[in-house]
Copies of this chain bind each other. A is one copy, B any other.
Amino acid sequence: MSEVDVPESHPRYESLLTRHRIETGVEKGITSQQGLIAQGRGEAFDYLLGERTIESADRAERVGAAHLLLADHPVLSVNGNVAALVPGEVVELAAVTGADLEVNLFNRTEQRIEAIADHLREHGANEVKGLTADARIPGLDHERAKVDADGIYNADTVVVPLEDGDRAEALGEMGKTEIVIDLNPLSRSAQVAAVPIIDNVLRAVPNMTAHARSLQDTPADALQQIVDDFDPAQALGAAEEAIRSGELE
């Protein structure tokens, strides 16, 4: 039995787990009102995708894992929904790939950042960045621009799950390799990403970890080949095609 008292084989396991984690997020002050609405938007796109990791998303997750292993300074950006939905899973991905975890919120309050950092620590995180906020992303308004100098600001590769478009664009303009997880293939975040992953974070993050584990002893030139062979436009096209032509029932 799991966190939600149903076996993982239960047909509605993922949906029940999601609901349970979102409720916990609300109770702990992690999930915002806007976060709940964003969750619903994601659910609709996931429904259209068939609530599965499509083949092109699995490939993108492997490429994302290769990027993280190649990076000098990878950072996983964590917002309220990511913290609520996949707290243990992002901690594990960070551990396997040597990435930092940095809390970064659309509606930034010190209280929410602290709540999220606590939640990640309860799920095994040692260090959580995002509280220093001693650097700024150029081109964004004050609150949205805040990052840690030794975190996202100096990262070469960032995973930004469920990120808003402006911020994804500004990070791209800083020359960072961006891995975006988003269920809408036509969102601006997905469009500007080096690696757009069109999948539910609940499936995408553990799958990236599994890929990172299996790629861990792969030489750098072979990892580089995986990265170079990837075509983001093709991944976005395949996801759009899946949404448009999939069986909806």
Contacts and interface: CB of A to CB of B under 8 A. Distances in A.
Nearest to A183: B44
Contact of A39 (B22, B40, B245): B40
Interface stretch (A30-38, A109-117, A148-156, A168-176): A30-38
A42 interface: yes
Scoring A22, A40, A184, A249 by chain B CB atoms within 10 A of each residue's CB, the highest score goes to A40
Interface in A47-83: 47-48
Contact of A37 (B36, B186, B248, B249): B36
A240 interface: yes
Contacts of A47: 41, 184
Scoring A23, A36, A39, A248 by chain B CB atoms within 10 A of each residue's CB, the highest score goes to A36
Number of copies: 2
Contacts of A36: 33, 36-37, 40
Interface of A: 22-23, 26, 33, 36-45, 47-48, 184, 186, 240, 244-245, 248-249
A36 B26 CA distance: 12
A244 B245 CA distance: 7
A190 to B, nearest CB: 11
A22 B40 CA distance: 14
Contact of A186 (B22, B26, B244, B248): B248
Contacts of A42: 40, 44
Nearest to A240: B248
Contact of A41 (B40, B245, B248): B40
B44 A184 contact: yes
A40 B44 contact: yes
Contacts of A44: 40-45, 184
Contacts of A186: 248-249
Shortest beta-carbon contacts, A-B, top 5: A40-B40, A44-B44, A36-B36, A37-B40, A40-B41
A12 to B, nearest CB: 14
Nearest to A36: B36
17 contacts: A26-B33, A33-B36, A36-B37, A36-B40, A37-B37, A38-B40, A39-B40, A40-B40, A40-B42, A40-B43, A41-B41, A41-B43, A41-B47, A44-B44, A186-B248, A186-B249, A244-B245
A8 to B, nearest CB: 23
